[in-house]
Amino acid sequence: MATKKKIGILTGGGDCPGLNPAIRGAVLQASALGYECLGVQEGWKGLLTADALPLSSADVEEIIGKGGTILGTSRTNPYKKENGVLQVLAGFEKLGLDALIAMGGEDTLGVAAKLFKEHRFPVVGVPKTMDNDLSATDFTFGFDTASTLAMEAAQRLVDTGRSHRRVMVLEVMGRHAGWVALYTAIGAGADYVCLPERPVDVEEMVRRLKAAHARKKTALVITSEAVDLGDSGKEELDDFGHMILKKRGVAEKLAEIIEKKTGIETRSAVIGHMQRGGPPTLFDRILGTRVGVAAAQLVAQGKFGQMVALQGNQVAGVPLGDATAALKTVTAEWLALADVLSGAVARKS
């Protein structure tokens, strides 16, 4: 009997809800096409060390509603390790793989794009990140769940804020793209949103918060973790050269500024990694499943060096290079919309 071709699947970078549905979709479609799958453990690290486990349809059957990734993940960058790329190529050989599906954000897929460009490495990418900052795709799974959780947390803050007549500040993740903060703010009806895409206008923020507090006896600010309050530059960097943002304490600093300038008692909260765990929303389950299935199809068609993108309501392959060339950040149209929503009522009062 002819041996089946093998696809390795890995998940790299920060985990997010939707990864398990994507793994499930890829494995179910690959099995239906006659492939065997191996689950490469903990991102690129698993290829460096040839660490993988069999991944059958039975293994993935019941994982659609599970948060995290059953494969484990890491922020390992083979390009930052001595002989890292050679080790990845050797690990791929050793595991007897014919193709790889790499699920990740700009870092993981950046490595995939480089490996394809430099070594014609047979890889297909699946976009994942709660940050929603990948180009060439309308959405990444993980974003909907993370923003929905943050929105719910914000609404809880408003309840306690109103009881105590306080201003409440919620800090959300999302790195250097403000999508999570923006969607959370719109969804929770926030009075001001601080995004990394533009400097915080402190005077305008104070004006709006005072007006909102006068009307509602509370006011809500959503801030991105990456907002620059004039004290950037001292942060630790990870393997991909990104700042480790969670140590910056943006919410606490903003709360201090707001309390001082408005004279209204202010409290802050940081949702942090809680927004990355838990069951994926329906949207993320469907998107994860669709891109996972499509990735296995691209492998079967020999379309390597591609990433599965959501464009409108279609999923389609786009060059990995296009997806990783530039970060997708909040546009001027969205900034204008955010201003209308938090500014219009304040202007009338």
What are the residues binding ligand F6P (CB under 6 A)? 14, 105, 129-131, 173-175, 225, 245-246, 276
In the complex with ligand F6P, which residue's Cβ is closer, 249 or 343? 249
Active-site hit among 131, 133, 144, 284 = 131
Length of the chain measured in residues: 349
Pairing between β-strand 192-194 and β-strand 219-224 as defined by DSSP bridges:
parallel
Comparison of 114 and 242: residue with beta carbon closer to ligand F6P: 242
Read off the DSSP letter of residue 97: -
Query: CB of residue 16 vs ligand F6P: minimum separation in angstroms?
Result: 7
**Shortest Å distance, C-beta 53 to ligand F6P:** 23
Please check whether residue 9 is in contact with residue 38, taking contact to mean a CB–CB distance below 8 angstroms: yes
| Least distance to ligand F6P, CB of residue 297, Å | 27
Tell me if residue 60 falls in helix, strand or coil. helix
In the sheet that holds 266-270, the strands lie side by side as 192-194, 219-224, 167-172, 266-270
- Alpha carbon distance 301, 298 (integer Å): 5
- Beta sheet of 99-104, edge-to-edge order: 52-54, 36-40, 6-11, 99-104, 123-127, 306-311, 314-319
Question: Nearest approach, Cβ of 279 to ligand F6P (angstroms)?
Answer: 17
> Is 131 a known active-site residue?
yes
Helix and strand element counts for the chain (H, E)? 12, 11
Output 122 or 174, the one with its CB closest to ligand F6P: 174
| Closest listed residue to residue 279, CA positions, set 37, 29, 62, 26 | 62
Q: Judged by CB, which is closer to ligand F6P: 43, or 305?
A: 43
Euclidean distance between CA atoms 238 and 31, whole angstroms: 36
The smaller minimum CB distance to ligand F6P, of residues 31 and 140, is found at: 140
DSSP class of 72: -
SS3 category, 261: helix
Cβ-contact 115, 91 below 8 angstroms: no
CB 73, min distance to ligand F6P, A: 9
Active site residues: 131
